[in-house]
Homo-oligomer: A and B are copies of this chain.
Amino acid sequence: MYQTFYRDQTQFYVAVDCIIFGFSEGRLSLLLLKRNMEPAKGQWSLPGGFIEAQESAEVAAARVLSTLTGLDEVYMDQLMLFSKIDRDPGERVLSVAFYALINVADSNREQVRLHNAYWRDLDDLPALIFDHPEMVHSALKRLRIEASTKPIGFNLLPERFTVPQLQALYEAIYGISIDKRNFRKKLQSMPFLVKLDEKDKTSSKRGAYLYSFDKERYEKAKLEGIHFAL
């Protein structure tokens, strides 16, 4: 009886697609594949593939990303399941989208190129297959909400960073230019941003004070109702 209950139901192919945003020199890019097999050979797509029998979606996403781009140990968050009837013209396939924001380092630039994968500027994306444009749009929206309510960006900066560096990161994520004075004012209300006694003098003679993000103070501030909000 238990068996019958399930056996009447439809089964679906379920894929994963990975939306990997890269940060480098004040700009965001997106990791894309030029497909070398059918369907849609020669077209651009997100790195994606099917979930296998013994995998969770999370495990499948890590395997697919590693296999297709060479990138290991990328911490991805799940975005959502995309399941419109005609999203894949070849066959009914559901797809779980995952996303991450990482630094584009020289090391992963070489790594991905060996796999026929490319970092493409977010402002100049090629046409993508299926509903991949919708996935990218949704992921970017989610990333912006995350960045505005949690300190997710600090992982991408050096341990000691300047305010202009932090502002450049947020301008890249939001895709807008931010008023300098308002930005500094907001930072001043966050007790977990610690102004150090040192200056970075690489980009100007006067130099810019270095800051660090204090995780312990952040956790304490949260309990007191002081939130990260940029």
A: which residues have CB within 8 A of B? 1-2, 5-6, 9-14, 37-39, 50-58, 78-81, 83-85, 90-94, 96, 145, 148-149, 179, 182, 225, 227, 229
Select from chain B the residue with minimum beta-carbon distance to A148: B149
- Oligomeric state, in number of copies? 2
With a CB–CB cut-off of 8 A, which chain B residues contact A227?
148, 229
User: Looking at A9, A52, A53, which has the most chain B CB atoms within 10 Å of its CB?
Assistant: A9
Task: Specify which of B5, B53, B225 is in contact with A38 (CB 8 Å cutoff).
Answer: B5
Question: A2 near B94 (CB under 8 angstroms)?
Answer: no
Select from chain B the residue with minimum beta-carbon distance to A8: B50
With a CB–CB cut-off of 8 A, which chain B residues contact A56?
83-85
With a CB–CB cut-off of 8 A, which chain B residues contact A182?
225
Q: How far is the CB of A126 from chain B (nearest CB, A)?
A: 23
Task: Specify which of B11, B53, B57, B149 is in contact with A81 (CB 8 Å cutoff).
Answer: B57
How distant is the Cα of A58 from the Cα of B85 in the complex, in angstroms? Answer: 11
Question: A57 near B38 (CB under 8 angstroms)?
Answer: no
Given A54-B85, A80-B81, A83-B57: A14 in contact with B13 (beta carbons within 8 A): no
Question: A81 near B84 (CB under 8 angstroms)?
Answer: no
How distant is the Cα of A74 from the Cα of B9 in the complex, in angstroms? Answer: 25
Apart from A6-B93, A148-B149, list 16 A-B contacts with CB within 8 A: A5-B38, A6-B13, A6-B90, A6-B91, A10-B13, A10-B53, A11-B12, A12-B51, A51-B83, A53-B92, A55-B85, A56-B83, A57-B81, A148-B227, A179-B225, A182-B225
With a CB–CB cut-off of 8 A, which chain B residues contact A9?
13, 50, 52
Given A13-B9, A38-B5, A39-B2: A58 in contact with B83 (beta carbons within 8 A): yes
Q: How far is the CB of A124 from chain B (nearest CB, A)?
A: 25
With a CB–CB cut-off of 8 A, which chain B residues contact A14?
11-12, 14, 94
Q: How far is the CB of A83 from chain B (nearest CB, A)?
A: 4
How distant is the Cα of A225 from the Cα of B229 in the complex, in angstroms? Answer: 12
Question: B1 near A38 (CB under 8 angstroms)?
Answer: yes
With a CB–CB cut-off of 8 A, which chain B residues contact A80?
78-81
With a CB–CB cut-off of 8 A, which chain B residues contact A179?
225
Which 4 A-B pairs have CB atoms at the shortest separation, nearest pair first? A11-B11, A57-B83, A10-B53, A9-B50
